[in-house]
């Protein structure tokens, strides 16, 4: 397993991170014991960065993760959780107030069975008021940092605009960006110089673009256009015809850039943990990658709307 430094945090994180959303049954119902085995196997195989949120499974993921980490030495992994998102309703599912953020971190620590977390992200800030995030949410997290409950502070989201706006207005340690550094969308690349100049680390999530870059294809709820879906399925069929797996190519691509310290992949299946790590160790197929990128070129960097219109 390769490790890279996350911004200026000093944390040496595995290039493949463990996204714990699956532990909450976000994608489909899971076997809790299998999820616990998957978590521990990931740690045994050298994955040392785990990301979770109270939103995943409406606190289920944090509870299962807490059980999975029982007895695991705290100095063998880094862990991030989130604040601000607690449901799907754009009006009622988000609360970035200082009072809720403070309570949320304490609740997460209790579910996880920990005294502190390494990193807390403000979750999907495009659904909130960025003025509140900058002037209320992040200061509340700084207070928690002073209390020793939080080491580093970040923001997460889909539109790239939210990252530049927050970083220009206040200091943060890290961003979590999803679906913006993958085979079909490398839009995050344009922010790399800006992030580096501001000492902000990058956590990349969803290298499979929430299911677009899989043989099965995206779920019905996926916000991508039909054009994007069709192009990704063409790429998947081409890979299959070559005896390859598009997901393997996608994970190798997203983890291959040294400017991306870690990429989160979520699974509650121990076999998939083994498979993903094995894929990292196999030689890259440059010819296949070039052909797939050619197939995806017509939809490259096409994004979808997420959150409030003013935040896109």
Burial of residue 140 (number of CB atoms within 10 Å: 0-12, 13-18, 19+): buried
How many whole angstroms separate alpha carbon 308 and alpha carbon 222?
Answer: 18
| Residue boundaries of the structural domains of the chain | 3-210+253-284
DSSP-based three-state secondary structure for 268: coil
| 55 in active site | no
What is the pLDDT at residue 298? Answer: 98
Average pLDDT over residues 3-28: 92
Tokens at residue 86, please? 């607690």
What is the pLDDT at residue 65? Answer: 97
How many whole angstroms separate alpha carbon 126 and alpha carbon 180?
Answer: 15
Confidence of residue 25 (pLDDT cuts 50, 70, 90): confident
How many whole angstroms separate alpha carbon 130 and alpha carbon 137?
Answer: 9
What is the pLDDT at residue 27? Answer: 64
Look-up of token digits 């800030």: 125
DSSP-based three-state secondary structure for 73: coil
Q: Each residue of 82-133: pLDDT tens digit?
A: 999 998 887 789 999 999 999 999 999 999 999 999 999 999 999 999 999 9
How many whole angstroms separate alpha carbon 86 and alpha carbon 92?
Answer: 9
Q: Which of 55, 56, 78, 86 is the catalytic position?
A: 56
**pLDDT exceeding 70 applies to what percent of the chain?**
99
Bridge partner list, 5: 12
Distances (CA, A) of 99 to 126, 136, 151: 20, 9, 19
Q: Each residue of 163-210: pLDDT tens digit?
A: 999 999 999 999 999 999 999 999 999 999 999 999 999 999 999 999
Q: Each residue of 32-65: pLDDT tens digit?
A: 999 999 999 999 999 999 999 999 999 999 999 9
Residue 30 has pLDDT above 90, yes or no: no
Q: Return the closest-CA partner of residue 312 out of 158, 204, 154.
A: 158
Strands 49-51 and 174-178: unpaired
DSSP-based three-state secondary structure for 174: strand
What is the pLDDT at residue 215? Answer: 93
| Range in 22-36, 103-117, 134-148 the model is least confident about | 22-36
**Residue spans of alpha helices (H) in the chain:** 32-44, 60-68, 98-112, 130-132, 138-146, 161-169, 192-197, 226-241, 246-255, 270-281, 286-296
Q: Return the closest-CA partner of residue 257 out of 156, 172, 186, 154.
A: 186
Phi, psi of 218 (to 5 degrees): -70, 150
3-210+253-284, CATH topology level: TIM Barrel (3.20.20)
The neighbour count for residue 210, using CB atoms within 10 Å, is 18
Spatial neighbors of 272 by CB under 8 A, at least 6 apart, are: 38
Q: Return the closest-CA partner of residue 186 out of 311, 308, 280, 303.
A: 303
Phi, psi of 270 (to 5 degrees): -55, -35
Residue 9 has pLDDT above 80, yes or no: yes
């Amino acid at each position: 397993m390769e490790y890279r430094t996350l911004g200026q945090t000093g944390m040496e994180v595995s290039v493949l991170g463990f996204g714990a959303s699956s532990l909450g049954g976000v994608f489909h119902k899971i076997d809790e014991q299998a999820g616990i085995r998957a978590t521990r196997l990931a740690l045994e195989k050298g994955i040392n960065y785990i990301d979770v949120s109270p939103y995943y499974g409406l606190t289920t993921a944090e509870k299962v993760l807490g059980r999975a980490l029982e007895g695991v030495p705290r100095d063998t992994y880094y862990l991030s959780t989130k604040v601000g998102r607690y449901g799907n309703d754009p009006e009622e599912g988000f609360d970035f107030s200082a009072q809720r953020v403070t309570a949320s971190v304490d609740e997460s620590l209790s579910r996880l069975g920990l005294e502190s977390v390494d990193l807390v992200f403000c979750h999907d800030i495009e659904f909130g008021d960025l003025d509140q995030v900058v002037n209320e949410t992040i200061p509340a997290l700084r207070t928690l940092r002073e209390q020793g409950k939080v080491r580093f502070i970040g923001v997460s989201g889909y539109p790239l605009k939210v990252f530049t706006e927050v970083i220009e207005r206040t200091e943060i340690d890290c961003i979590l960006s999803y679906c913006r550094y993958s085979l079909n969308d490398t839009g995050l690349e344009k922010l790399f110089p800006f992030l580096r100049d501001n000492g902000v680390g990058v956590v990349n999530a969803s290298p499979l673009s929430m299911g677009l870059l899989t043989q099965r294809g995206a779920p019905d709820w996926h916000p991508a256009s039909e054009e994007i879906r069709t192009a990704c399925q063409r790429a998947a069929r081409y890979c299959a015809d070559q005896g390859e797996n598009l997901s393997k190519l996608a994970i190798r691509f997203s983890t291959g850039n040294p400017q991306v310290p870690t990429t989160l992949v979520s699974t509650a299946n121990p076999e998939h943990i083994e498979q993903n790590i094995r894929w990292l160790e196999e030689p890259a197929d440059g010819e296949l990658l070039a052909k797939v990128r050619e197939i995806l070129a017509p939809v490259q960097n096409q994004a979808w709307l997420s959150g409030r219109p003013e935040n896109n």
